[in-house]
């Protein structure tokens, strides 16, 4: 198990070194991407807003198209609103930021559009809010559970245990705070790492999706830590 984890981290590190070249469209557009958000609340709206300011095109979607249109109008050029299916089709990268109890419906309703697409999963299972699905996800591990619910997506778990206000301010001190991420897909890590840096964080891969169980409030990796601190903490976790 330890050897497999070391091998994955080495492969992902190599992919990170090439993170300017993960997709031809990405390179051809000066590193700017089309991003679709499934959920535009505190986290989705905040992250999407920073990405718009960084020059990416973002389509916001949620249960309220009117609210998404208002958000897009406020952000201006580069922001737009659509239905979840429109956002899933639009995005080269998708951000899924919904209550965990809604994740099965996202996987069912958008499954055909998620296959093969890079998806950033910010969702956390809370039994008091999300019920039995959260109990199951915590037992299985949130990263592996999300992968099962969003079948076929190239999943990167990130932005799970830092407050949304901090996410909107991190760009003021780029790289000071690390962002622990978990994924089984080195190329997906390479594509999303520049987006994480655009928010203001330094991405720190802590392992595959099995390590996603630690990317939640209440774990040692929750809160703000320097990149070096994240690496030190992650090394103690199994």
Q: What percent of the residues of the chain are helix, what percent strand, and what percent coil, each to the nearest 5?
A: 55, 15, 30
Strand partners, 207: 182
Q: What's the pLDDT at 9?
A: 55
Q: What's the pLDDT at 3?
A: 44
The domains found in the chain, sorted by start residue, are 2-235 (3.40.50.720)
Question: What's the whole-model pTM score?
Answer: 0.89
Under DSSP, the state recorded for 201 is P
Cβ atoms of 208 and 183 within 8 Å: the answer is yes
Q: What's the pLDDT at 13?
A: 52
Kindly list the averaged pLDDT for each block of 10 residues, start to end, along the chain of length 238.
Answer: 50 46 50 96 97 98 97 97 98 98 97 97 98 98 98 97 93 96 98 97 98 96 97 94
Q: What's the pLDDT at 93?
A: 98
Strand partners, 19: none
Sign of the C-alpha dihedral computed for residues 51, 47, 60 and 214 taken in this order: positive
Cβ atoms of 187 and 13 within 8 Å: the answer is no
Strand partners, 61: 38
Q: Which helix (H) or strand (E) holds 183?
A: strand 178-183
């Amino acid at each position: 198990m330890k050897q497999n984890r070391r091998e994955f981290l080495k492969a992902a590190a190599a992919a990170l070194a090439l993170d300017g070249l993960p997709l031809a469209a990405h390179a051809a557009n000066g590193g700017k991407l089309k991003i679709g958000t499934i959920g535009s609340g505190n986290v989705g709206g905040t992250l999407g807003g920073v990405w718009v300011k960084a020059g990416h095109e973002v389509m916001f979607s949620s249960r309220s198209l009117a609210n998404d249109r208002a958000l897009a109008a406020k952000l201006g050029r580069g922001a737009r609103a659509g239905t979840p299916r429109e956002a899933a089709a639009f995005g080269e990268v998708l951000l899924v930021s919904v209550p965990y109890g809604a994740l099965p419906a996202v996987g069912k309703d958008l499954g055909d559009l998620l296959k093969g697409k890079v998806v950033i999963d910010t969702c956390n299972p809370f039994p008091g809010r999300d019920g039995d699905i959260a109990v199951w996800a915590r037992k299985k591990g949130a990263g592996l559970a999300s992968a099962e619910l969003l079948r076929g997506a190239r999943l990167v778990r990130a932005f799970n245990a830092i407050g949304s206000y901090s996410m909107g301010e991190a760009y003021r001190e780029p790289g000071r705070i690390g962002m622990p991420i978990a994924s089984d897909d080195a190329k997906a890590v390479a594509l999303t790492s520049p987006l994480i840096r655009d928010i203001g964080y330094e991405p720190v891969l802590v392992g595959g999706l099995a390590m996603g169980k630690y990317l939640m409030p209440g774990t040692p990796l929750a809160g703000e830590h320097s990149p070096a601190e994240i690496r030190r903490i992650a090394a103690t976790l199994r």
